[in-house]
Every structure is written in structure tokens, then in C-alpha cells.
Amino acid sequence: MPLKNFEIRTDFADEWILNHQEDDSFTHHIMQKEGIDLHFIQILKEENSLHKQKGIYVTLAYEKMDDREARLKIASTLQFCIRELLEKMEVTPHKFLVVGLGNRMVASDALGPLVANEIMVTAHFYKDGSFDMKGTQEVAAIVPGVMGQTGIESGEIVKSIVDTYGPELVIVVDALATGSTARINRVIQLNSVGIIPGSGVGNHRMKLDEETLGVPVLSLGVATVISVAAIVKECVPQLDFEQLQEAHPFFHLVVTPKSIDVEMKQLCEILALALNRFLHPDFDKL
């Protein structure tokens, strides 16, 4: 593939907007909450200049998360965004399935499994209807693994559990790819359109969305990796990629910062806290 046609991979709708003039195919609203930049993007048409699926995308961009107070602010803002997104989706679920996508053995891809492991699950208490856990809602959580571990598509595993368990909303958590080094581990995206596992690194699998699962899907992810191509383009924007034919194979690689182990724990704390408080809003121990 010629380098001049090489596409910088990013899962974030607001990054696409930077390179496009606003038109009638989408709306873009920016606000701040507790010092955190929020981008609300609604893609109105199936055919649009951003080449993204029709739906609602929300991103949170923050500068630091290395202290407890900062993480609490991010979690509070994320909880607010989840409520706002569901209101725009016009769904009021009370039975949830949280899906932690990714490979727990790979640091940059372990976000989904780590967060799912911290979700307060209550579905087993609600199963026979004999237990009243005040302030909670019915929540189940799964980690389907990756095809290299199970030999089965993650989407097929999730679909079978959805058909059996019958949630009113599926919340999918996954690691995403960004096109900017400054945004690694510093931006969270929610959307109403679902997710294709592995799409950020060019490994497309079965899509998880309302069409395939039969129930609304809220996708939640954090930028944890960036492609080598994006780094080169960012560092030397005027560079003619056609001059780098020999380096082309390396452009497909994705990398993550050496601080990923520490920051993944911080991200897990933020997402799990926001989700648990959203899922169990009246449970006073969260």
C-alpha cells in the first residue's frame, strides 16, 4: 500500500473533526465540567464526512490522573456523561451486562478485563427474586477473552450470554487507539453505536452493537495505544511518506508508553468507580 494513502488509525470521533470542516452531517458541542473538556458529537447521517457510524460520541479530555482527587473528578464527570448519553439514547435500563473486552495478559489491552473485575455484580442475588439489595440494580459482568485465547469470536460469546441473560443494556469496555501522543491514557470516549473489537489496531472482529446483540449498547474506551505512523506524522507533519518506503512495515505497529502498568491501574479505578456509581446510584457504600 502506498504510504501517501496510509490512514492514521484513531477510534476517536473528535480527532476526525480536527481535519474536517463542519457540515450538516454532524454537530459538535464543547463544554467544560470540573476543568475537564467534554466534546459532544452527534453524527446525523449514515453518509457523513467523518466516515463514522451514525450516533452519539462523547469524549472527556483531562491532563492528569496521578492523584486521588483528580481521579475522583474524572470519575464524577464520566458518570455524568454516561447519564447524559443514555438520556440522548432514550433508554432507561435496570438490567445490565458489562463486557470487559481485551487481553488481560497484555498491559495496553487489559483495560476491559481489569474494569470488569471491579464491577459490583448483583445478578446472582436477583436471580430468584428472594434478595433485596437496597440501592442496587441488576448487573452481570463477563470477560470473553480474545480469539487467540479461546478460539471463539468475542462477539459470539457475548451474543450467547445476551440471549440467555436478557440485559436491557450492554456496556462494553475496551482499549482504543489514538492519533496523538498527548492523548494516550488522557482521553475517554463513550458512544451509542457499539464497537468492533480490535479495530484500532487493524484486527477487525465481529461488531458489538444493537443490530448484532438485539439490545442497546454503550461503548466505553480509553486511548492506550498509538501507531508508529501517527507518531511519525505528528513529529514531522511535512514529511513525504513516499520517501519512507523501507520503513513502511513498521508503520503498522502500535506502541504504548512505558508507564502503562501504573496508569492502567489508575484508569481502571476511574472507570470502575464511575460505572459502579452509575449502576448502583443509591448504594451508600460506593
CA distance 193 to 270: 22
Write down the mean pLDDT value for the chain.
87
pLDDT in tens, 227-237: 888 888 788 77
Q: All 3 cell numbers of residue 168?
A: 436491557
pLDDT in tens, 6-34: 556 788 888 877 666 677 888 899 999 98
CA distance 216 to 171: 9
pLDDT in tens, 67-114: 999 999 999 999 999 999 999 999 999 999 999 999 999 999 999 999
C-alpha dihedral over 152, 154, 155, 161, to 10 degrees?
A: 90
C-alpha dihedral over 145, 99, 218, 103, to 10 degrees?
A: -30
**What pLDDT does residue 2 have?**
47
Q: Please report, rounded to a whole number, the percentage of residues in the chain having pLDDT higher than 70.
A: 86
pTM (whole model) above 0.75: yes
pLDDT in tens, 144-154: 988 888 889 89
